[in-house]
Amino acid sequence: MIVVLKVGGASTAGVVDAVAALGPQVCVVHGAGPQISAEMERRGLEVRFVGGRRVTTPEALAVVRESFARVKAAVCASIGERALPLAGDEIGLAAVQVPELGLVGSPVPSAPTSILRALAAGLVPVVSPLARGPLNVNADEAAAALAVGIGAKRLHFLSDVPGVYRGGDVVQSLDATTVESLVEDGEFDGGIVPKLLAAVRAARSGVAAEIGITEVLA
């Protein structure tokens, strides 16, 4: 059973335990949001998001690539010798450009042979969410599209919080229609929105999706 594990740039500490817990065939997709924002600010570049997606200029894309490389190296080091670092744009991750956001793409399901071969060989592919172009892709969206593309049975979002909060408590499950309604009503904002919507897309495509302990159901 193939599992896609999405790791945020702020939560790499739990990767080893998560990989061990999720089974023998795990593909990791990592983000680097905090690192990218910090480096962009250091360089005097504007940090701006629209709907959870980072507006990406050519200058910002250079920062994105460098930050992904650092986080990917850290994730691979924590996993150990089974880890195989892969850059999404080099292995054929596909996306449709969103011109109003600059060099940003909406990912479409794809199944790069390098990932499938790595999983078959018992390795752990660690993928940075760049698509051909190159285009910067939200890591949550990239993980969902990849899970659908490679036929994963499960998509798990590892975060620095235990799950999705409502009313101060972590909920055990949310159905897709409720998620969409709550997002539209503004109950959720910030980084949780792309996670929730990515989980919805995965669930509706037959992939079991969970954010921490919160299941998102089709």
Q: What phi and psi, each to the nearest 5 degrees, are found at residue 171?
A: -90, 150
Answer yes or no: are the C-beta atoms of 147 and 202 closer than 8 Å: yes
Q: What residue ranges of the chain have pLDDT lower than 70?
A: 10-11
Q: According to the model, what pLDDT value does residue 5 have?
A: 97
Of the options 3.40.50.800, 3.30.450.30, 1.10.150.110, 3.40.1160.10, the CATH number for the domain spanning 2-217: 3.40.1160.10
Residue 70: per-residue pLDDT: 95
Whole-number pLDDT of residue 69: 96
* Helix pair angle (15-22, 58-79), 10° resolution: 70
First to last CA, the chain: 20
DSSP secondary structure of 194-215:
HHHHHHHHHHHTT-EEEETTEE
Per domain, the residue ranges of the chain are: 2-217
